[in-house]
Structure 1
Amino acid sequence: MAVSVDLGATKAAKNARSLGSSGHPLILGAAALTGLLSLLPLGFVVYIAATSGWGTIADLVFRPKVGGLLVNTLMLLVLVLPLSVLLAVALAWLIERTDIPFAKFWSWMVIAPLALPAFVHSYAWNAFMPRFHGLGAAVLVSILAYLPFLYLPVAAQLRRLDPAQEETAQSMGKRPIEVFFLVVLPQLRLAILGGALLIGLHLLAEYGLFVLTRFDTFATAIVDQFQSVYSGPSANLLGGVLVLLCLGLLGLENLVRGSERYARVGAGAARRRGRVALGRWRCPALLLPLIFAALSLAVPVLTLGRWLWSGGAEIWRFDFILPALGQTAVLALAGAVLTTLAAVPMAWLAVRAPGRVQRTLEACHSYVGALPGVIIALALVTITVQVALPLYQTLATLIFAYVLMFLPRALVGLRTSIAQAPVELERAAASLGRPPVSAIWHTTIRLAAPGAMASAALVALGITTELTGTLMLAPNGTRTLAMRFWSYTSELDFASAAPYALLMIVLSIPLVIMLHMQSDRVEQA
């Protein structure tokens, strides 16, 4: 019996040690495999650069046009990200921490723009203000379309914070504004950085939004190269510059994020913090969510309604609409599940076992989010044609492309959720004899399940409206809602495109509802 106890204790000790700073080998191996597959588009870009020669690189990259694209892209990041952070934090604080009227309603209104594809926002504003183009239009529409990516994690984190910490600071004589900046804001850092990273990656990769606002970026230039002269080297070298921008953004986010984590063992204070009384500012405070809702929802809804009204019954071609709806739903569900599962190992390593190897792997997972879908699609087309021809234009290749495109979206949400799960629970489970992977599954993964569901919903939202990669990789006969919408709008047939825009919104609404519900559940996690 003593020998049995000793063997059990030895096994438990080994399990606990395997959850150390280096991470479990099985999890590390899974993350390494996903990271290696994620490097395929980058390898393609590097291959094109290597075979093009320095002279070609100098001619295509070091020219005034590329300099202009670089300035435009950096201006977008510099303007959109800080403004989005300020607006998201302000809205989250008003809705979650003050006695603003109809707080629950405004919470729904702030995340509702996620149900509208970014290019639908652009089409709406293009119809509403035909002369509204350039940097100002690009910044406004980007904030309206992508702000929910920041609001959701910030609002969820505000609900989760232990009020005792703020009350302690107030008891020490700190003013409310000092309490916010010294106690609350540091605990929102992970949520803010995660949401800002998502928005930044979208800005680098977005195509349709900026085409319609007539604002040139690297993404629009790359797609234009393929559509006009099919200049492979030029487009792929521009893609290389875009990859460098992505790596710079990831490096900045990693530097600011650091290694701190914010989690507690136990329930903390089993109550929510009381809401701040706005007093005479209670009604004026309504202007902020009201203006945001009007700009992000009223303009697109009114424009879409005009398209539907002008088209009449003739635009509802159900022989085209129903197949597009079914194909979109199947692709979104399959891609969301597989992408979230692929992101789990890296999310765990990023939080539990940070290090040089892990950060390198995380960069491999994340950089693909900055690549336009057309670059990822072209890489997969070339690889399948030259190496694995049976996979060319198959459902497997298309879904694999979705996994690559939306892996960063799933990774950010999972990473934030895992960071909130105390590591002590994993170690306790391992010390009781559970194998490392089982210990992680029964503790951290279960606690992070609401975040995983939210991440899957975000991925499904992206797949529902993905366009450029789908156009190049979809099997013959596949026509998603986004493909049909873009086909009609390219012909300036906005009325015929309206039903597909409406169905994309309808299909996205349940996902947005689930996002909001999972965000609310964070409070009880």
Structure 2
Amino acid sequence: MIVALVAAIPLVFVAGYAVSVGWDQAWQLIVRPRVGELLRNTVELTAACMAACALLGTAAAWLVERTDLPGRRVWHVLLTAPLAVPAFVTAFGWISITGDVEGVSGALLVVTLAYYPLVYLPVAAALRGLDPALEETAHSLGLGPWRTFIRVVVPQLRPAVLGGSLLVGIHLLAEFGALQMLRFPTFTTAIYDQYRSSYDADSATMLAGVLVVLCAALLAAELRLRGQRRYARVGGGTPRATRPLRLGLFTAPALVVVAGVVVLGLGVPLGSLVYWLAAGTSTVFPLGTLALTAGTTIGLALLGALLTTACALPVAWLSVRHRGRLSSLAERSTYVGNALPGIVVALALITVSVRLVQPVYQTTGLLLAAYVIMFLPRATVSVRAAIAQVPPVLDDVAHSLGARGAATVGRVILPLIAPGVGAGAALVFLAAATELTATLLLSPTGTHTLATQFWSSVRDVDYGAAAPYAGLMVLIAAPATYLLTIASGRSDT
């Protein structure tokens, strides 16, 4: 509940602000034509991106894990690699080489290529963990490959697909850098413009309130679709690999599709960075500044990942092992902060720190608190999925053998959920290493990260100067991305 209360600080801030300005004025600020346009853009892009990522991520995971696609291990790594490239760097890669990426279609292309791995990874892990006997039984009962996939495999993938799609949706609700660079107006970009341009706090906070409502609707829909089914089972099933489906004549088209996704999602942004590093007339390499900002970025991201994952563990445990209204409320509340723009989270923490705990204002601890609030869902989804796969009966067996409390957790539970915990920590590290708006407002005086230095150069349309910082962000994020491929398991060649 302490974690839930901390995560709810931005929500309380928005609600309190609405009360302070009065309901009549708040209503007038919301019911405007501009708000309707932003609502349409935000909902349209979020729904389309979630559907596209679910389809693309599930299809790619199935090709890699369940077919004889040549080079599956290599494709697994390459399909995960876009997580190492921040969405605003992907947008930078596209807009710096072409001006045709615009409107809802351009924004949908960029954010889908940036976020589909959030669905691909959990679905690939789920496919790898399924007992082959389930499908063999379906075949023995007369079901063909496609009917078996629809009736047996897809229901088992529901938690992974819904969890990954939820991450995509709530992350997109708060996306700022990529959409600002693509000039596609959503609530997040409008809130940033209101705060930084006209200093219209009333309008900006009311727009944030609409985002909270959208997030709540998204969480309710995911909870409804998830249902109350349990997916844990005792044992790992028959210890043998699933027989891959032979693609035959479809091998070449499948390779073209997978290669196309990799080229568009990874090749274009990395190719653009290489171009600006090599040919940019304003490209410089200030080694001292690069080393200092890289060290600061890594340190903050590591601390943020450890603290956020530690906070996610009790929330995920309660939501799985002790289901109820209170535990569901605690889990759902951790998602709200991620749907709010970083600037709203930052301003909420500034207000609380100045009025209640002034000594923490402009400290690293306050910035880490913002990371926890914004990135808890990344850790919670991964940890929750791992705990859901551990049968509760194992606790009873451990207790019957004399292991109690911490001994059961350390010797039975943690080894089984370690891959999920590692995946969650890696996801938080990736997010914290590339966070922009909250870091701009909350970092102590004189503290700069790679993301803030990159944004400063891009804002001045100085692509050559921005490229080294973007390149370092990718290099720092690459090991964490590779750890995600290990945590989700290795694909067979």
Superposed pair shares fold, TM > 0.5: yes
Q: Any conservation in 1 of the 2:302–2:429 contact (CA below 8 Å)?
A: yes
Q: Any conservation in 1 of the 2:423–2:487 contact (CA below 8 Å)?
A: yes
Residue 408 (structure 1) aligned to one of 349, 373, 377: 377
Q: Which residue of 1 aligns with 2:58?
A: 89
Shift of 1:430: 2.9
Aligned letter for 2:111?
A: S
Residue 469 (structure 1) aligned to one of 430, 438, 441: 438
Aligned letter for 2:39?
A: L
Q: Any conservation in 2 of the 1:344–1:414 contact (CA below 8 Å)?
A: yes
Q: How many Å separate the matches in 1 of 2:66 and 2:379?
A: 28
Q: Which residue of 1 aligns with 2:77?
A: 108
Q: Which residue of 2 aligns with 1:451?
A: 420
Q: Which residue of 2 aligns with 1:144?
A: 113
User: CA-to-partner distance for each residue in 1:415-450, whole Å, 9 max, x for gaps?
Assistant: 001111111111222344443454334322221011
Q: Which residue of 2 aligns with 1:17?
A: none
Q: Which residue of 2 aligns with 1:216?
A: 185
User: CA-to-partner distance for each residue in 1:70-98, whole Å, 9 max, x for gaps?
Assistant: 11111112211112111111111111111
Q: How many Å separate the matches in 1 of 2:137 and 2:289?
A: 62
- In the alignment, does 2:11 pair up with 1:37? no
For 1:335-346, what aligned pairs fall within 5 Å after superposition?
335-346=304-315
- In the alignment, does 2:430 pair up with 1:497? no
SS in 2 for 1:201: helix
Q: How many Å separate the matches in 2 of 1:310 and 1:260?
A: 55
Q: Any conservation in 1 of the 2:88–2:177 contact (CA below 8 Å)?
A: yes
Q: Any conservation in 1 of the 2:282–2:464 contact (CA below 8 Å)?
A: no
Aligned letter for 1:93?
A: W
Residue 348 (structure 1) aligned to one of 314, 317, 323: 317
Q: Which residue of 2 aligns with 1:80?
A: 49
Shift of 1:37: 1.2
- In the alignment, does 2:347 pair up with 1:378? yes
Shift of 1:521: 6.2
Q: How many Å separate the matches in 2 of 1:230 and 1:173?
A: 66
Q: How many Å separate the matches in 2 of 1:447 and 1:107?
A: 23
Q: Which residue of 2 aligns with 1:167?
A: 136
Shift of 1:312: 6.7
From the CA coordinates, give the structure whose radius of gyration is larger: 1
Residue 283 (structure 1) aligned to one of 233, 248, 252: 252
Aligned letter for 1:187?
A: Q
- In the alignment, does 2:97 pair up with 1:123? no
TM-score by length of 2: 0.97
Aligned letter for 2:57?
A: A
- In the alignment, does 2:451 pair up with 1:485? no
Q: Any conservation in 1 of the 2:282–2:465 contact (CA below 8 Å)?
A: no
Shift of 1:266: 2.2
Shift of 1:55: 2.4
- In the alignment, does 2:210 pair up with 1:241? yes
Residue 390 (structure 2) aligned to one of 421, 442, 448: 421
Aligned letter for 2:392?
A: V
Q: How many Å separate the matches in 2 of 1:90 and 1:40?
A: 38
Residue 391 (structure 1) aligned to one of 353, 360, 374: 360
Q: Any conservation in 2 of the 1:154–1:192 contact (CA below 8 Å)?
A: yes
Task: Identify which range, 195-204 or 51-60, moves more after superposition.
Answer: 51-60
Aligned letter for 2:303?
A: A
Q: Any conservation in 1 of the 2:73–2:490 contact (CA below 8 Å)?
A: no
For 1:220-235, what aligned pairs fall within 5 Å after superposition?
220-235=189-204
Shift of 1:313: 9.3
Q: How many Å separate the matches in 1 of 2:280 and 2:85?
A: 20
Q: How many Å separate the matches in 2 of 1:38 and 1:168?
A: 45
Shift of 1:310: 2.4
User: CA-to-partner distance for each residue in 1:244-265, whole Å, 9 max, x for gaps?
Assistant: 1111111111111112121221
Q: Any conservation in 1 of the 2:434–2:473 contact (CA below 8 Å)?
A: yes
Q: Which residue of 1 aligns with 2:487?
A: 518
Shift of 1:127: 1.6
Shift of 1:482: 0.2
TM-score by length of 1: 0.92
Q: Which residue of 1 aligns with 2:30?
A: 61
Q: How many Å separate the matches in 1 of 2:321 and 2:283?
A: 57
Q: Which residue of 2 aligns with 1:299?
A: 268
Q: Any conservation in 1 of the 2:162–2:226 contact (CA below 8 Å)?
A: yes
Name structure 2 gaps, 5 residues minimum: none
Q: Which residue of 2 aligns with 1:7?
A: none
For 1:178-189, what aligned pairs fall within 5 Å after superposition?
178-189=147-158
Shift of 1:314: 5.8
SS in 2 for 1:282: helix
Task: Identify which range, 251-260 or 433-442, moves more after superposition.
Answer: 433-442
Shift of 1:197: 0.6
User: CA-to-partner distance for each residue in 1:228-280, whole Å, 9 max, x for gaps?
Assistant: 01111111111111011111111111111112121221231100111111111
Aligned letter for 1:494?
A: Y
